[in-house]
């Protein structure tokens, strides 16, 4: 009881307004079980000032991606988790706790649904109407499912993309190549470090100076240039010397790309990771200062949205022109191309999304993001898991290189965490390993295991994860729902299902799952089951679409797939 009262006091539960939030650490429980405790700590971790973009507004990342609907809901979530029994399940409706059901010990402790709308009404305008009425919040992907781990969460996926790009286009890494991109927020902030890890040179344009400073402080970004000319000069010098370097430039990308074209500067690679999916809260129109844009956003939202869409059209036309002049162009899943099409850029899809271009082959093998967090709060626990994973998978040299770079270059944000991409059959082994580490006392507290919703079988997103599917099933959302239900049936600690994600309302449906390694036999069974079945749905999804790699993996790995009409 004292621990419960302590955490209520530390989190200022009941004060009703913004307050600093930090996840508790240590091995002592505040809740009635480690599944509830893990959810409590991860909810708080999402809002850690080191982690969340705007925690006072409960915004974690990606424009409006929130952890709770409002502060009263946050308080209610915390109180409910503290009292939740080990045979009960909390129901969350768009950031608001709405019911506690008597279920069973084998059932998930929390079921989360965020920003899901009936398709006819699934638009930003209708979402904003409900949001203003206090009936909904935007969950993004890992914001509203309480498994955000800071910019590191997308870092390896970004690194995998750039590494694959180098192999595909240059038969090597990105040494001596210049990449131009924009956006240094919660997702885009991974880009500079991912590029330098792939040995390239990055020019990262960001209109918000505070984001540049945050990435410099956390060593995701190497340096900042005061002007475009200096940014280009620094990039060209580093590329000439084949020295990895990331350069921040405080400006609007919709102003910078036309200026680059005018100067005749064409990078080797052009992409973007602004929050273009949300024309009101995520993207900044050209011709305005940062402060002017924020003022206009509140004063005249319709004018702001029109200006933002116009800027996106110019932005995409500039990317297409750079592609025409020899740059490798790809979309990083922020719906920029579809937004530009609203303004008449009919050929916006002439450059591909990153999944069909660089990632789909990994998805066919059941590969995807595997992330974990040390609930103790002690970074040594992550060092232990890194070391033990290397022992478990000595043949995975790419993973070994990644973990070495991550250990040297990544500063933890909030609770210590790590991510690496693992495939079918590997995730369950890693889950058992972590449970053994907890059981044997080699780490100081349980470990929470989750993933991005961006995974091999958990998303239906025709402009991102399921773009250009072989059988034309890009918009079929059944697979994401089946993934969600299979994770509930398999015994995940908590499961979520969202509309929107990185591409916006109406453009994607996606599921997330989280498991907990607490050292018990019951958790071991759940970990093995969830971490086996979760990627299996990805192999099934791609095998059904006719991908030969997925069919072969299913046959060799024992994923049972009824071959009804493979075509």
Tokens representing 314 are 């110019």
Range of 315's domain? Answer: 152-357
State the pLDDT at residue 2.
72
Within this chain, do residues 327 and 468 fall inside the same structural domain, yes or no? no
Identified catalytic residue from 31, 364, 420, 456:
420
State the pLDDT at residue 565.
53
Instruction: Assess if residue 58 is contained within a domain.
Output: no
- Mean pLDDT of all residues in 36-52: 96
Question: Strand 110-114 to strand 494-499: parallel, antiparallel, or no bridges (unpaired)?
Answer: parallel
Instruction: Assess if residue 466 is contained within a domain.
Output: yes
Instruction: Assess if residue 53 is contained within a domain.
Output: no
d(C-alpha 375, C-alpha 26), whole Å: 7
Within this chain, do residues 328 and 370 fall inside the same structural domain, yes or no? no
Within this chain, do residues 368 and 351 fall inside the same structural domain, yes or no? no
Within this chain, do residues 258 and 391 fall inside the same structural domain, yes or no? no
Phi-psi region of 216 (alpha: psi -120 to 50; beta: other; left: phi over 0): alpha
Within this chain, do residues 440 and 324 fall inside the same structural domain, yes or no? no
Tokens representing 472 are 């034309």
* CATH number, domain containing residue 443: 3.40.1770.10
Within this chain, do residues 308 and 379 fall inside the same structural domain, yes or no? no
Instruction: Assess if residue 77 is contained within a domain.
Output: no
Find where tokens 């299996």 sit: 536
* CATH number, domain containing residue 215: 3.40.50.10730
Instruction: Assess if residue 400 is contained within a domain.
Output: yes
Instruction: Assess if residue 436 is contained within a domain.
Output: yes
State the pLDDT at residue 1.
55
pLDDT tens by residue, 53-91: 999 999 999 889 999 999 999 999 999 999 999 999 999
Buried b (16+ CB within 10 A) or exposed e, 154-181: bbbbbbbbbbbbbeeebeebbebbbbbb
Q: Are 306 and 313 in contact (CB under 8 A)?
A: no
State the pLDDT at residue 417.
97
Within this chain, do residues 426 and 345 fall inside the same structural domain, yes or no? no
Find where tokens 């592609």 sit: 323
- Of 357, 378, 395, the position where a domain reaches its end is 357
Residue 13 has pLDDT above 60, yes or no: yes
State the pLDDT at residue 313.
98
d(C-alpha 132, C-alpha 463), whole Å: 28
Instruction: Assess if residue 452 is contained within a domain.
Output: yes
pLDDT tens by residue, 291-313: 999 999 999 999 999 999 999 99
Within this chain, do residues 364 and 405 fall inside the same structural domain, yes or no? yes
State the pLDDT at residue 3.
85
pLDDT tens by residue, 234-257: 999 999 999 999 999 999 999 999
User: What is the pTM (predicted TM-score) of this model?
Assistant: 0.93
β-strand partners of 101? 89
Find where tokens 């060799």 sit: 556
- Of 337, 357, 377, the position where a domain reaches its end is 357
Within this chain, do residues 429 and 502 fall inside the same structural domain, yes or no? yes
d(C-alpha 273, C-alpha 262), whole Å: 23
Taking the alpha carbons at both ends of the chain, their separation in whole angstroms is 60
State the pLDDT at residue 564.
56
- Of 306, 335, 357, the position where a domain reaches its end is 357
d(C-alpha 59, C-alpha 55), whole Å: 5
pLDDT tens by residue, 383-394: 999 999 999 999
Instruction: Assess if residue 305 is contained within a domain.
Output: yes
Q: Are 374 and 416 in contact (CB under 8 A)?
A: yes
Within this chain, do residues 347 and 364 fall inside the same structural domain, yes or no? no
Within this chain, do residues 319 and 346 fall inside the same structural domain, yes or no? yes
Judge whether 31 counts as a catalytic residue. no
Cβ-based neighbours of 219, under 8 Å, separated by 6 or more: 193, 409, 411
Q: How many domains does the chain have?
A: 2
Within this chain, do residues 290 and 364 fall inside the same structural domain, yes or no? no
The helix or strand, by DSSP H or E, that contains position 224, with its residue range, turns out to be strand 223-225
State the pLDDT at residue 567.
44
pLDDT tens by residue, 189-226: 999 999 999 999 999 999 999 999 999 999 999 999 99
DSSP class of residue 197 equals: H
């Amino acid at each position: 009881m004292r621990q419960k009262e302590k955490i209520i006091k530390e989190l200022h539960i009941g004060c009703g307004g913004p307050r600093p939030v930090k996840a508790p650490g240590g091995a002592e429980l505040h809740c009635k079980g480690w599944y509830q405790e893990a959810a409590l700590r991860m909810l708080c971790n999402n809002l850690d000032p080191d982690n969340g973009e705007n925690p006072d507004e409960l915004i974690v990342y990606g424009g409006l991606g929130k952890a709770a609907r409002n502060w009263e809901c946050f308080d209610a979530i915390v109180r409910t988790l503290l009292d939740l029994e080990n045979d009960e399940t909390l129901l969350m409706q768009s950031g608001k706790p709405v019911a506690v059901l008597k279920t069973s010990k084998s059932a998930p402790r929390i079921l989360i649904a965020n920003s899901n709308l009936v398709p006819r009404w699934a638009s930003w305008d209708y979402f904003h109407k409900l949001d203003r009425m206090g009936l909904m919040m935007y969950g993004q992907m890992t914001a509203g499912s309480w498994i955000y781990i800071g910019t590191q969460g997308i870092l390896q996926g970004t690194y995998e993309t750039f590494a694959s790009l180098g192999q595909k286009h240059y038969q090597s890494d990105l040494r001596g190549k210049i990449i131009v991109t924009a956006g240094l927020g919660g997702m885009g902030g991974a880009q500079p470090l991912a590029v330098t890890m792939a040995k390239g040179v990055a020019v990262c344009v960001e209109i918000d100076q505070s984001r540049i400073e945050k990435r410099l402080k956390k060593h995701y970004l190497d340096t900042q240039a005061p002007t475009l000319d200096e940014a280009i000069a620094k990039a060209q010098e580093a590329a000439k010397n084949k020295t990895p370097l990331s350069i921040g430039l405080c400006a609007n990308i919709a102003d910078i790309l036309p200026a680059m074209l005018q100067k005749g500067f064409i990078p080797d690679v052009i992409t973007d990771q602004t929050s273009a999916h949300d024309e009101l809260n995520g993207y900044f129109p050209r011709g305005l200062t940062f402060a002017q844009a924020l003022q206009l956003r509140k004063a005249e939202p319709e004018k702001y949205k029109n200006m933002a869409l116009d800027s996106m059209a110019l932005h995409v036309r500039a990317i297409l022109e750079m592609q025409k002049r020899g740059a490798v162009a790809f979309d990083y899943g922020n719906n920029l191309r579809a937004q530009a099409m609203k303004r008449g850029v009919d050929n916006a899809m002439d450059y591909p999304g990153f999944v069909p271009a660089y990632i789909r082959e990994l998805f066919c093998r059941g590969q995807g993001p595997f992330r974990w967090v040390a609930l103790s709060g002690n970074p040594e626990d992550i060092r232990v898991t890194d070391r033990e994973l290397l022992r478990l998978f000595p043949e995975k040299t790419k993973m070994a290189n990644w973990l070495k770079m991550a250990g040297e270059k990544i500063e933890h944000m909030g609770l210590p965490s790590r991510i690496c991409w693992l495939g079918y059959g590997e995730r369950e082994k890693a889950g058992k390993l972590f449970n053994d580490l907890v059981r044997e006392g080699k780490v100081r507290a349980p470990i929470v295991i989750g993933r991005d919703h961006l995974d091999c079988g958990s998303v239906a997103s025709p402009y991102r994860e399921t773009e250009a599917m072989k059988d034309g099933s890009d918009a079929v959302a059944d697979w994401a729902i089946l993934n969600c239900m299979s994770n509930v049936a398999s015994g995940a600690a908590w499961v979520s299902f969202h509309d929107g994600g990185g591409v916006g309302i109406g453009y994607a449906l996606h599921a997330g799952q989280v498991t907990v390694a607490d050292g018990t036999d019951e958790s071991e069974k759940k970990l093995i089951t969830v971490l086996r079945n979760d990627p299996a749905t990805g192999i099934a999804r791609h095998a059904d679409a006719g991908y030969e790699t997925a069919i072969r993996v299913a046959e060799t790995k024992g994923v049972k797939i009824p071959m009804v009409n493979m075509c």
